[in-house]
Structure 1
Amino acid sequence: MKENIAFTAPHKTATEAGMSILRQGGTATEAMVAAAATISVVYPHMNSIGGDGFWLIDNPGSDAPIAIDACGAACQNLAVYQEFDAIPERGGLSAITQAGTISGWQTALNADANAKLPLSEILAPAIAAARSGFEVTTSLQTASDKLYAVDKRNDAFKALYEPNGLALKQGEHFTNPALANTFEYLAKNGLQAFYQGELAQSFAADLAAAGSQIKLADINATQAQLVTPLKASLQGVDCYNLPAPTQGIHSLIILSIVDQLRSKASEDIDWLHLIVEATKQSFHLRPQLWADPNAVTALYQQVLQTPAISELANNISMSKAEAWPFNASPGDTVWLAARDQRGQMVSFIQSIYWEFGSGVVMKDGGFTWNNRGISFSLDNTTTNCLAANKKPAHTLNPAFARYHDGRRLAYGTMGGEGQPQTQAKVFTDYTWRNRTINEAVAAPRWLLGRTWGDTSTNLKVEQALASELGTELDRLKHKWQSVEDNNEMMGHAGAILDSETELAAASDPRSDGAALVGCADSPSQ
């Protein structure tokens, strides 16, 4: 039997959860909810049900993918922030925005005509993982060590993630019965029960005790939205991403610039230089483009058109790097993708922003609330200024490509503001450099700007690539440094490629993930 299902995630347990749904005939959307719930259990530092999510769902024969914005908006009561010069990074006051991800799960299931599995089956893998436990990874230990030094983590956080008074250690067995109970409650009462009733009331009480300004009314009002995806038409391929408040616009600007100038690139150094310089051109525009969809400037509607892209491309020199003071924001995230037996594909991303988000755990929920709202500015003259019901500038942006020859590619990565850069590298390697998706995902990479705990704004290059291209980077006047290979700061990328002759999936060696391809046990309905 021809292979007809695929799943990739940055933790193998989530991949297995998604594949278990696909094998029994479930849709890619149902599989994604199962995996999204499971990865919130086993990668709690990277994401949680107290965070946000974004979807691209591609159904065969449709005009465009379905796009879902499950970004939480700022709460109503923000008066306390008038006293601050900067938003606190951790603790209750960093918990400013609603948790949209579960509303996104419900919206995705509602939009899928073939989704018929009961929630009890979809959430079963997550319940099992939370109740029976799992082995702490190196990635989780690193994040736990970092949060151990943070003062503003609440008692529920300490009780859950420091059960012996110490940070979690790699190899330890960790269980989360409270989160298992939460998923069982949702399986019985429906996903909307996260936002209504006794569970929501307990979240509001925990947030208030930590000093958050989020009220029960804010939680009650949380609602994901179906939105129109962004589209960039390149030569031979249409690329899709999420609109504001995400970085999707920047991901597509970078690809559009590279598409215009790719005839000037032949060697590895040319491609690296071109993508880095295209990134700089796009990020110059962030003050106008990266904010709530109601706050971005008029440029947003024009910037993907050919004249605007040509103007940006003309600013790039292929013989010299532009000086760059860019400071990137950190961000812990998970990106996943699925393909079901009917041909539905999903590109999905879910996050709480910084590792363990606000550091405020819901004691009855077993999860951490996000600190996504710290990306707001307290400068009222900026597009991304803090305001009630406003969405913050969001790093998350899942990607999808439809090739004119029928191929389809779901791809993406975690990595904060490194996401557009890594997306461009993976897409370029596969589309224009004849690499397989596994080669494109695993190849040595780079990151422009600051990342976790770092103050430098230079170009970080993995050692294998730095050894090969260091002299050329100097010649082009890049300010760069080498970092160890397979570095987690480069993100956890992945991809699924679907064509008439091939179904392939890739997972990043920088993660704890797996990419699986197989056959559904149940015939398509």
Structure 2
Amino acid sequence: MNFDWTNPYPTIRSPLMARNVVATSQALASQAGLRMLLKGGNAVDAAIAAAAALTIVEPVSNGLGSDNFAILWDGKELHGLNSSGVAPAAWNPEYFRRKHGDKMPMRGWDTVTTPGAVAGWVALSERFGKLPFADLLEPAIELAERGHGVGRIVSDKWGRQVPGLKDQPGYAEAFMPRGRAPEPGERFVFAAAGATLRQIALTKGEAFYRGEIAEKLVAHAKANGGSMALVDLANFRPEWVTTIRQDFAGHTVHEIPPNGQGIAALMALGMLERLDLARYPVDSVESQHLQIEAMKLAFADTYRWVADERSMTEVTAEDLLSDGYLRERAKLIDPKRAGDPAHGTPPKGGTIYLSAADERGMMISLIQSNYMGFGSGVVVPGTGVSLQNRGHGFTLDEKHPNVVAPGKRPFHTIIPGFLTRDGQPQMSFGVMGGNMQPQGHLQTLVRMLVHRQQPQAACDAPRWKVGSGRAVDFESTMAPALVDGLKALGHRFEPTPDAYMDYGSGQFIWKLSDDQEDGYVAASDSRRDGQAVGY
């Protein structure tokens, strides 16, 4: 790819070129990963160290009770890992109707599925890591026990969550050490999490799922109306999966198969592949309109059909990605007017993101999340384990494939991305932030692959975010003429209500050539406190 190395958008960052790279949404976490590379570790070692550090330095977005997913190139082939948790054995629609009425709860213990992140770290380390597992958690332990100065953007997002979560069990003790959220630069010490990380390091995660930490989690659940049991934790195993894919602009885009929403990005890109985007300028009304419409159609199908893949018996991922179906969906896009999308019926057939790559050719795309800013809001006293609320992603509609059931994975928003060309690795990438993630994948890939914008420029460019129907929000840096042009086509402007998710935050590592000595170019989104580092 011959990128245009200019950057027409306001930015304070330049792309990084190096043979070994770590890019995350928080600078201290990037440095934790870099420490592993300098110690002789590989990209997987770096990613695990960075992910563990992020549970401490960006606790709004993830914690020790998170889930994660990963896609990695081991130097020869691509692998996917789904380490998202499953519903406790006690969960079913009647359980929730009896306790919560007709809607899934948003916070508290009844939103907590089995945490998968720690098991994901262990699985990655055992299969692909180079350094001892305990070494990988050293930076996170140091950050937790000695403390660190809280980042500016993390502090802002932390403060926004306090009013709604301060009464959740264990939250104030863990995350309001001075009766409030920390100010930027204020030192935050998370000693309880440091002690738990030491146990995880010593036992390779066994204490978390089958030992002392597991017992504390279950006791706290029982005391606060939850149903998590020891057997739910002990039985959890991450799953190695084959990626789903879509060809686009001479490359192949890879995502984790459902229960994640990565399929939405693939569907939208599949539609756009049939609409010849290259004929329009990068920031034109015509190009942005087509992208918005494709994304809306993809979301309509995703929200109707996508669930734990084991439950997608009526419509499968293969059905949704079939060439004929995407061709028909693309025909529904009116180039002159915004539409009101509905799902089709195919013929039968709060998050952190990080990326790392090393000079031996290993590349990893990893995403980890508690969801919705501090997840469930529950923090188990004495452990520092803040728990996700991914159970909120289930539905109580028993006709929907995503209906809650024991041992089932809920619909999940977090999606790592990976790009190959002619069967070889090209880029590990991702954009964190709720349903902004597939939208971010779409917008940045179009900029890089169709319009040859370099990764930092594609990352810095203003973004849109679709809502329901014709609703769409535009980032404040978007050109007024472009916004007016989209409104004239019938797009209804509606400000995004959730400031926590906003327009996402991406990390991108692009392999510069087939010659490994040429290394990579990396970009880190300026919408967070992140950084790309390397040597």
Q: Could you say whether these structures have the same fold, taking a TM-score greater than 0.5 normalized by the shorter chain as the test?
A: yes
1:97-127 CA distances to partner (integer Å, 9 max, x unpaired)?
1001111111112221xx2311232111101
Residues 122 and 457 of structure 1: CA distance in aligned 2, closer, same or farther (over 3 Å): farther
Determine the structure 2 residue equivalent to 1:194. 208
Determine the structure 1 residue equivalent to 2:459. 441
Equivalent residues in 2 for 1:71-470, closer than 5 Å? 71-78=84-91, 80-83=95-98, 84-95=101-112, 97-112=113-128, 115-150=129-164, 153-263=167-277, 265-267=279-281, 268=283, 269-296=285-312, 297-323=314-340, 332-404=350-422, 408-449=426-467, 458-470=471-483
- Partner letter of residue 464 of structure 1? T
- Secondary structure of residue in 2 paired with 1:489: coil
- Partner letter of residue 57 of structure 1? L
- Partner letter of residue 368 of structure 2? Q
Deviation at 1:423, TM superposition (A): 0.6
Q: Equivalents in 2 of 1:368, 1:125: separation in Å? A: 19
- Partner letter of residue 459 of structure 1? V
Residues 420 and 126 of structure 1: CA distance in aligned 2, closer, same or farther (over 3 Å): same
Residues 205 and 143 of structure 1: CA distance in aligned 2, closer, same or farther (over 3 Å): farther
Determine the structure 1 residue equivalent to 2:347. none
- Partner letter of residue 82 of structure 1? R
Q: Equivalents in 2 of 1:182, 1:71: separation in Å? A: 20
Contact 1:153 1:360 in 2 (8 A): no
Deviation at 1:176, TM superposition (A): 0.3
Deviation at 1:477, TM superposition (A): 1.3
- Partner letter of residue 202 of structure 1? K
- Secondary structure of residue in 2 paired with 1:284: helix
- Partner letter of residue 88 of structure 1? P
Q: Equivalents in 1 of 2:157, 2:288: separation in Å? A: 30
Deviation at 1:316, TM superposition (A): 0.7
Determine the structure 2 residue equivalent to 1:329. none
1:403-444 CA distances to partner (integer Å, 9 max, x unpaired)?
239560111111111111111111111111010001000111
Deviation at 1:155, TM superposition (A): 4.5
Determine the structure 2 residue equivalent to 1:522. none
Residues 476 and 77 of structure 1: CA distance in aligned 2, closer, same or farther (over 3 Å): same
1:289-340 CA distances to partner (integer Å, 9 max, x unpaired)?
32111122334222222111111111111111113699xxxxx101100001
Determine the structure 1 residue equivalent to 2:8. none
Calculate the TM-score normalised by the size of structure 1. 0.91
Contact 1:288 1:299 in 2 (8 A): no
Q: Runs in 1 of length 4+ with deviation above 4 angstroms?
A: 481-484
Contact 1:463 1:483 in 2 (8 A): no
Contact 1:22 1:341 in 2 (8 A): no
1:468-507 CA distances to partner (integer Å, 9 max, x unpaired)?
31231122111125789x9960011110001224511100
Contact 2:122 2:133 in 1 (8 A): no
Q: Equivalents in 1 of 2:249, 2:476: separation in Å? A: 33
Residues 172 and 228 of structure 1: CA distance in aligned 2, closer, same or farther (over 3 Å): same
Q: Equivalents in 2 of 1:339, 1:416: separation in Å? A: 25
Residues 151 and 368 of structure 1: CA distance in aligned 2, closer, same or farther (over 3 Å): closer
Q: Equivalents in 2 of 1:81, 1:71: separation in Å? A: 21
Contact 2:254 2:418 in 1 (8 A): yes
Deviation at 1:233, TM superposition (A): 2.5
Q: Return the match for 2:83 from 70, 73, 88.
A: 70
Calculate the TM-score normalised by the size of structure 2. 0.89
- Partner letter of residue 279 of structure 1? M
Deviation at 1:17, TM superposition (A): 0.7
Q: Equivalents in 2 of 1:135, 1:229: separation in Å? A: 38
Determine the structure 1 residue equivalent to 2:24. 9
Contact 1:53 1:100 in 2 (8 A): yes
Q: Equivalents in 2 of 1:441, 1:487: separation in Å? A: 18
Deviation at 1:265, TM superposition (A): 4.3
Residues 22 and 289 of structure 1: CA distance in aligned 2, closer, same or farther (over 3 Å): farther
- Secondary structure of residue in 1 paired with 2:477: helix
- Secondary structure of residue in 1 paired with 2:298: helix
Contact 1:103 1:191 in 2 (8 A): yes
- Secondary structure of residue in 2 paired with 1:397: coil
Determine the structure 2 residue equivalent to 1:54. 69
1:444-475 CA distances to partner (integer Å, 9 max, x unpaired)?
1111127xxxxx97211112214131231122
- Secondary structure of residue in 2 paired with 1:382: coil
Residues 117 and 407 of structure 1: CA distance in aligned 2, closer, same or farther (over 3 Å): closer
Determine the structure 2 residue equivalent to 1:476. 489
Residues 127 and 457 of structure 1: CA distance in aligned 2, closer, same or farther (over 3 Å): farther
Determine the structure 1 residue equivalent to 2:531. 514
Q: Equivalents in 2 of 1:393, 1:19: separation in Å? A: 33
Q: Equivalents in 2 of 1:385, 1:228: separation in Å? A: 24
Q: Return the match for 1:22 from 34, 37, 45.
A: 37
1:265-296 CA distances to partner (integer Å, 9 max, x unpaired)?
41222221111111111112124432111122
- Secondary structure of residue in 2 paired with 1:193: helix
